[in-house]
C-alpha cells in the first residue's frame, strides 16, 4: 500500500537525508527498547569483581549462571513456574474457548448477562480478590500448593480471554457450522469439529499470551505461595532485598527468567501478530 503508508513528516528534505533520518530514528528506537535487556545480559556476564563497573573492564564469565543454578530454591522456582504456566495455559484455553464461542454465536439476555459479568470482573483490581483468596485457599487446604496457585491463574484469564475469543469467533463465518449441523452434526460436533479447528491460529495466539502472562505474574505468587511452591518472580523480588549487592547473580537469574519467555514469544510471534490483527 504505497500511498497509505507514507506519512511524510519531513516533506521538504531531499530523499537521501530523509532516509538517513529515518534510519537513525529507527536505530534510536531499537536502542531504547533493547538497552535495558542488553545491559542486564552484560551485567550477568561480569565476574563479581567487575560488576560495579560494568561499562569498564573486559573480563567475562559464565560463573554467575553456574552459581545461581547451584541454588536448589531457584531451580525449584524455575520448574514450578514453567509447570504452572503450562498447566494454566491448557486449562485456560479449555475453559475460555467455549465461553468465547458462546458469546460470539448466541445473542439474547443470557449472552448479554455473561458479557456484562465478564466486563465487570475484568475491571475488579486483582488485589480485591487475591487478598481474601489468601484465606479461602488456606481454609480449603490448598494454600501454597500447585492447585492453589494454578486455579486462580486460570480464573483470572477467563474474562480477558473470553473477550478476545469472542472477537476471534466473530471473524469466522458461522455458515460452515450450520452446514455441518444440517448434515447431522450435533451442536457440540459443530463446535468441536468445525469451529475450533478454524480458530486454531487465534487459539495459538492466546496460548502464547497465556503462557507469558502466567510466567510473568507476580502478585498471585506473592500472596498465594510460600516456601513449598516458590515461584520465580517472587524469588527474584526477594533477591532484591536479601542480596541487594550481588547484582551479577541477580542479573544472571533475571536473564534465565527471560530465556523461556523469549523462546515462547519468538516461536509464537507470528501467531500473536496474526491473531491480534483480527
Partner 1 sequence: MFGEQQRFMLFLIAPAALLMLLFQVLPIVIGANASFRDWALYNPKKTWIGFSHYYAVITDPAFLYVVLPNTFLFMVLSVAGALVAGLSLALLLNRPFRGQKLVQTVLLVPLMVAPVVAAIMIRWIFNDQFGIVNAVLEAIGLEGQPWLVQRWSAFGIILLTDIWLWTPWFTLLLLAGLQSLPKEPFEAAAIDGTTTWRVFRFLTLPMLRPVIVVCVVIRAIDAFRTFDIVWTLTGGGPGRSTELFSLYAYVHAFLNLDLGRGSAAAIIGGLIILVIGVVLYRLVDRIAKA
Residue of 66, 79, 83, 240 that binds partner 1 (CB under 8 A)? 240
Residue 252, interface with partner 1 (CB under 8 A)? no
Residue 227, interface with partner 1 (CB under 8 A)? no
Show contacts with partner 1 in window 36-55 (CB under 8 A).
36-37, 39-40, 43, 51-55
Residue 25, interface with partner 1 (CB under 8 A)? yes
Max Cα distance, the chain (Å)? 74
Residue of 58, 59, 123, 184 that binds partner 1 (CB under 8 A)? 123
Cα distances from 187 to residues 51, 91, 195, 203, 213, in angstroms, run: 62, 22, 10, 20, 32
Nearest distance in Å: CB 132, partner 1 = 3
From the number of C-beta atoms within 10 Å of its C-beta (0-12, 13-18, 19+), residue 260 rates as middle
* Nearest to 239, CA basis, from 252, 228, 226: 252
Nearest distance in Å: CB 235, partner 1 = 10
Show contacts with partner 1 in window 124-183 (CB under 8 A).
124-133, 135-136, 151-152, 154-155, 158-159, 162
Nearest distance in Å: CB 171, partner 1 = 11
H-state helical runs in the chain: 15-44, 63-69, 72-105, 109-123, 126-139, 146-170, 175-182, 187-189, 196-198, 200-216, 219-224, 232-242, 247-277
Q: Which stretch binds partner 1 (CB under 8 A): 67-75, 169-177, 194-202, 263-271?
A: 263-271
Report d(CA 195, CA 9) in Å as an integer. Answer: 45
Residue of 33, 58, 59, 72 that binds partner 1 (CB under 8 A)? 33
Residue 5, interface with partner 1 (CB under 8 A)? yes
Residue 98, interface with partner 1 (CB under 8 A)? yes
Comparing CB distances to partner 1, the nearer of 132 and 141 is: 132
Ramachandran quadrant class, 108 (left: phi over 0; alpha: psi -120 to 50; beta: rest): left
Amino acid at each position: 500500500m504505497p500511498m497509505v503508508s507514507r506519512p511524510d513528516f519531513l516533506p521538504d528534505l531531499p530523499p537521501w537525508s530523509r532516509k538517513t533520518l529515518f534510519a537513525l530514528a529507527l536505530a534510536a528506537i531499537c536502542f531504547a527498547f533493547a538497552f535495558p535487556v542488553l545491559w542486564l545480559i552484560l551485567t550477568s556476564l561480569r565476574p563479581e569483581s567487575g560488576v560495579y563497573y560494568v561499562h569498564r573492564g573486559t573480563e567475562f564469565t559464565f560463573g554467575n549462571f553456574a552459581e545461581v543454578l547451584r541454588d536448589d530454591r531457584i531451580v525449584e522456582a524455575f520448574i514450578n513456574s514453567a509447570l504452572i504456566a503450562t498447566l494454566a495455559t491448557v486449562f485456560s484455553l479449555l475453559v475460555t474457548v467455549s465461553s468465547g464461542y458462546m458469546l460470539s454465536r448466541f445473542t439474547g439476555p443470557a449472552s448479554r448477562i455473561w458479557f456484562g459479568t465478564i466486563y465487570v470482573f475484568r475491571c475488579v483490581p486483582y488485589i480485591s480478590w487475591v487478598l481474601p483468596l489468601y484465606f479461602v485457599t488456606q481454609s480449603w487446604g490448598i494454600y501454597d500448593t500447585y492447585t492453589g496457585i494454578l486455579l486462580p491463574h486460570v480464573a483470572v484469564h477467563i474474562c480477558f480471554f473470553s473477550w478476545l475469543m469472542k472477537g476471534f469467533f466473530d471473524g469466522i463465518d458461522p455458515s460452515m457450522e450450520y452446514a455441518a449441523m444440517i448434515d447431522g452434526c450435533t451442536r457440540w460436533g459443530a463446535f468441536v469439529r468445525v469451529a475450533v479447528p478454524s480458530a486454531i491460529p487465534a487459539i495459538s495466539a492466546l496460548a502464547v499470551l497465556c503462557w507469558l502472562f502466567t510466567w510473568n505474574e507476580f502478585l498471585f505468587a506473592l500472596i498465594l505461595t510460600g516456601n513449598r511452591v516458590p515461584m520465580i518472580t517472587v524469588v527474584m523480588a526477594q533477591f532484591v532485598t536479601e542480596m541487594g549487592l550481588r547484582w551479577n547473580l541477580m542479573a544472571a537469574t533475571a536473564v534465565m527468567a527471560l530465556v523461556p519467555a523469549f523462546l515462547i514469544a519468538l516461536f509464537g510471534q507470528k501467531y500473536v501478530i496474526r491473531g491480534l490483527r483480527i
